[in-house]
Structures are given as C-alpha cells and as structure tokens.
Amino acid sequence: MHVDHLLHLDRLDLSLVWGEETLLGQEIAGVTATDLEDPARFLQPGEVVLSGLVWWTRDGAAAKTDRFVSALRQAGAVALLAGEETHGHVPGELAAACRRHRVALIAVPPHTSFRAITEAVYLRQWGELSRHPSDHHALPENVRLDLGRALERGATAGELLDRAFAHLGTPACHLLTAAGRTVARTGDTARLPAKSAREALAGALGTTLRIEAEGTDFDTWYLHLPEEGLVPPRVLQEIAELLGRHRRREDRSRAERGPAAARLMEAICSPRVDPGRLQRALASCGLDGRPSYTVVTAALEPDGKAGADGVAALTEALGHLPSATFTVALGDDDTATAVLASADGGTHTATAAAGTAAAARTAERLREVAHLIQSCRPGSTWHVGLSEPIEAAAATDATALHTGLVQARHALAGARTAAPTSPQVARVRDLDGLEMLLAGVPASVREVFRETVLGPLTRAGRGSGAMLMETLEVFLAHDCSWTRTAEALHVHVNTVHYRVERIETLTGRDLSRLDDRVDLRAALLCR
C-alpha cells in the first residue's frame, strides 16, 4: 500500500496539504499514532505517523514544529497525517516544516478517527500479504490459519506469541505495555523487569513494533525483540495485526465489565448501602470471598481528575502487582478508584496480619511503578492513596468499604501535599503529621478556618500584614524562641516582642499557650 492510496479511500475523506508525487508513491510499512514532541525513538522506517497535534502550541511553534518533523524524517516516516480536531486546521508552520524536510503532509478531518485509518492500512496490507505470502515474507498459510483458530477460541496473548514465532525457532520476544509491564513472552524468554522494559522501549536496540488498538499513553502494547533481523518485517507486521485483534477483543470484554465496576463504585461511595447489594456488587466483579480488601485512589495532575486516562493509569499500575485481583472505575469525585482484593488467608488473627503485610507490599510495589506510570506522560504527576486493609468479615458491612474510600482519599490528599510535582504513593497510616492530616480536610473548610484565624493579620495593612505573617511563621518555626527569631529576621529582639504582641492582639490568641500555637500553625498550613 502506498501513501497516495490513502487519499483515494473515500470513507476516510483525507486531503493532501503537501506532497510531491515521489513521496506519495512511497510504500507504507505500518502506522504509529503519537503526540510526543520528539517521537523518533518510537518510529520505524516506512511508517505513516498519525498525530492529533496536541503537542503543537503557538508559543515557540516554529522551533517545536521543525523538531517534530525532523524527527519523522530521521526515523524514515513516509507521511504525517495531522488531525484537524484539536486546532480546527493544520497549522501553516507544520506545512512549511514538511516542505523543508520533504515529508508528505495529509489532513485528517475531525469526523475521521485514527482507528479507521489504522484499520484501512492493515486490512489492505493483510490482503496483500495473503495474496503474496512468499514474496512479502508473510506468515505461512498453515500458521495464519492456526493463529486465526486460536484467536477465535480465546487464546491468551502468550499462546498466540508462541504459535506465531514457533516456525521461526521461537526467538526471544516480549509483548510490553508502555509502562514496561510484560503482557506475554515467548517460550523460555527471560522475564524483563518493568524498568528495564521501559528503557528497552525508549532505546534504539532491538526491534519494537506498536500494536494498533485503542490504548492510552499508559497501556499501549508494543512487540519487542531484543535482537534485530531475526524476523522479516512483514511477518512482524502480520503478527502485530493479529495481536491488535486480540487486544481489541480484550478491550471489548473490559468494557462489558464496566457497568459492574460502576455499580460497585456507586455502592462504596455511598455512606450506607444494603449489605446484600454490596455483596452482589463484589461478586459481579469477581472480588467476593477474599480475606481482605484495600481501596486505592489515584489522580493525574495538574487537573487532578481521572477520566479514561486516569482509570487506565491506575489499572496499568495495579497490573504490575503479582496475582492482583481488582476492579477500577471513576469515583464520585472523578478520581480513579479501585477495590483491590488480597489473596492471603488464614485465621482471623493471621488474616489481619496478612492483610497489613499485603497492604505494605502493595504500597511498596506501587512506589516502584509510580515513576514508570508518570514517564508515560511527560509533564504530568501521578499520586496514589491507599486505605488500611479491610477484613472480609467487615467488607460487606454497610460502611466498611466507604470508610476505606475516605481513608484512601485522605491519603491521596496527603500525597499531593507531600510531593506536588513528583509521584507519591501514601497509605493512610503515613499521615503522621499535622500538615498531612490537614491535607484531607476539604479545601472550603480549610479556607474558612484560615480566614477566621489569620484574617485579622492579612487585613492589618499592606506592609504590616505581610510582616506580621512572616514573623508568626518564623517564631513558630523556631519554637517561639525570641532570640533565634530575631536572628532569623535580622531584627532586634524587642522588635520581635512588639510584633508578637501585635499578633496576639489581632488574632485573640496567646502564643504562650500550646492550643493557641497549634491553631495558628494549622491556619498557616491551610494556606
């Protein structure tokens, strides 16, 4: 299939922005969708690149655009298909850069999905490979038929990999997510740690092929062979298309389970719920009969909301846990929320101890994974909060899982406070200080408390108010030591006495009393 073939597919409604005849005659080897500013390391020669232009902004547009198109050229991309939905048009700077670097540029209208383009390319290639298997290094007919039957009867990704590569001697191959989780691997191929897998995807060694499906930044699949040249490119493309069909089937199954997850989330978000209804909701998600449960919440910053990407990020992270059983959905506060079931069992005492140990292991593993999740979307920050483990006997109580949800949200708020710009995983028992405790108090309540306690200081005058606030912070930070406060502020100790007296008069607090000191310190932390 050549680039100009895309322009002749009426159902896609694509339009040529720029491209010479020789460029339009180039053969398409594959498709990659990306909105990275520098996608070179994820591209393969001969691919057409789909981009929604989310990376493009008017500020610094020329340099950023030139860098993006240059990366396409260096990687050997044959065309750029630019979506018009984000900006309403294809920017002129992009057309100019494509002319300079000689990359064909095609506009994709808002009503045409990238999935439709991807399927059009691979359906055309599948037909060509089937008609000319030997000339194009396609899979042998018997192998393709065997894979088709295996796919229809619901074979796992691992079984499909082994069957696809068996006739080639089963070379080492991993099916990886963008966050480095191994979905499947061939034969005796060594397990690849998530961090090493993520580095392999970002590096230039080996062969990596993106699996075309409706994945997110966090759970897109990649076929990775550590050694180059062991498998003909056409065969790899055909295997990748088969795995794409398998992935789309999995996505449909997950979508069908969505209503059950939503019902469970609705149940635990309610302060009280009928125990029978809660039990049925757990059972419909395959979580009933487990010794203990943990509620997990997560948020993608800067907006702190979840949506489909936030749910995908948490789902992918929990997928890194060994033998994890969980369900993820949107909570009523629009953050990703999961109920995670523990497999550890035993007596009542042993169950409690096992649940606590399992929760600690879960938190530690999520801390290891957090940076991998965040690296999938540069510029974002990922925070997680975990509840204390909830024993099975209490889980179907009308309030136990809701209490766990409150704990997890409080821990999430503490994680955001502790590390606003870096990934942080917090358990509710990590909230061991006043600042972390206050993080879980609703913002509106914190604001009222701060204004009630510190309002008289902020209204003391433009210069005076700021001076008194600074003195209060330094005085409390130095354990109410007059001398050390004076040294820190570079003023006479008598000046500190005067300012503190003024603070006490305005706020009605006595800084010699512990309770009043705590009030003022808490109010400062609520800013």
Same domain, 211 and 285: no
Q: What is the mean pLDDT of residues 401-427?
A: 82
Segment 449-475, tens digit of pLDDT: 888 888 888 888 767 888 988 899 899
465 inside domain: yes
Number of domains in the chain: 4
Same domain, 49 and 104: yes
Return the SS3 of 117: helix
pLDDT of residue 347: 40
Segment 244-298, tens digit of pLDDT: 999 988 888 888 888 999 999 988 888 777 888 888 899 999 998 888 889 999 9
Same domain, 220 and 153: yes
**In this structure, what CATH number is given to the domain that contains residue 36?**
3.40.1390.20
Same domain, 201 and 94: no
- Residue 113 burial (C-beta neighbours within 10 Å; 0-12, 13-18, 19+): middle
Q: Residue 39: what residue type?
A: P
Question: What is the DSSP secondary structure assignment for residue 41, as one 8-state letter?
Answer: G
Cα separation, 163 vs 375, whole angstroms: 33
Radius of gyration of the chain (CA): 29
Question: What is the DSSP secondary structure assignment for residue 163, as one 8-state letter?
Answer: H
In this structure, the number of other CB atoms found within 10 A of the CB of residue 390 comes to 23
Which two tokens mark 130? 């089937």
pLDDT of residue 236: 87
Same domain, 199 and 282: no
Same domain, 238 and 283: no
**In this structure, what CATH number is given to the domain that contains residue 224?**
3.30.450.40
Q: What is the mean pLDDT of residues 315-324?
A: 89
156 inside domain: yes
Same domain, 234 and 154: yes
Residue 137 has pLDDT above 80, yes or no: no
pLDDT of residue 43: 86
135 inside domain: no
Cα separation, 17 vs 429, whole angstroms: 58
Return the SS3 of 302: coil
132 inside domain: no
In this structure, the number of other CB atoms found within 10 A of the CB of residue 108 comes to 26
359 inside domain: yes
Residue 83 has pLDDT above 90, yes or no: yes
Same domain, 163 and 98: no
What average pLDDT does the structure give for the chain? 84
Instruction: Tell which residue, 246, 224, 239, has the closest CA to residue 155.
Output: 246
Cα separation, 205 vs 41, whole angstroms: 10
**In this structure, what CATH number is given to the domain that contains residue 334?**
3.30.70
Same domain, 362 and 419: yes
| Helix orientation angle between 493-507 and 443-458, rounded to the nearest 10 degrees | 120
| Domain boundary residue, one of 439, 471, 494 | 439
130 inside domain: no
Same domain, 188 and 282: no
Q: What is the DSSP code string of 355-376?
A: HHHHHHHHHHHHHHHHHHHHHT
Cα separation, 197 vs 246, whole angstroms: 21
Cα separation, 88 vs 73, whole angstroms: 25
Q: Is the distance from CB of 423 to CB of 374 less than 8 angstroms?
A: yes
Residue 32 has pLDDT above 50, yes or no: yes
Same domain, 294 and 430: yes
Segment 417-441, tens digit of pLDDT: 776 667 788 887 766 667 666 666 7
181: containing domain: 147-251
pLDDT of residue 481: 92
Strand partners, 329: 337
pLDDT of residue 134: 44
Q: Which residues of 51-87 are buried (b: 16+ CB within 10 A; e: fewer)?
A: bbbebbeeeeeeebbbebbbbbbebebbbbbbbbeeb
Cα separation, 290 vs 306, whole angstroms: 27
380 inside domain: yes
Q: Is the distance from CB of 42 to CB of 208 less than 8 angstroms?
A: yes
80 inside domain: yes
In this structure, the number of other CB atoms found within 10 A of the CB of residue 207 comes to 17
| Domain boundary residue, one of 198, 221, 251 | 251
| Domain boundary residue, one of 187, 222, 251 | 251
pLDDT of residue 345: 46
Same domain, 228 and 305: no
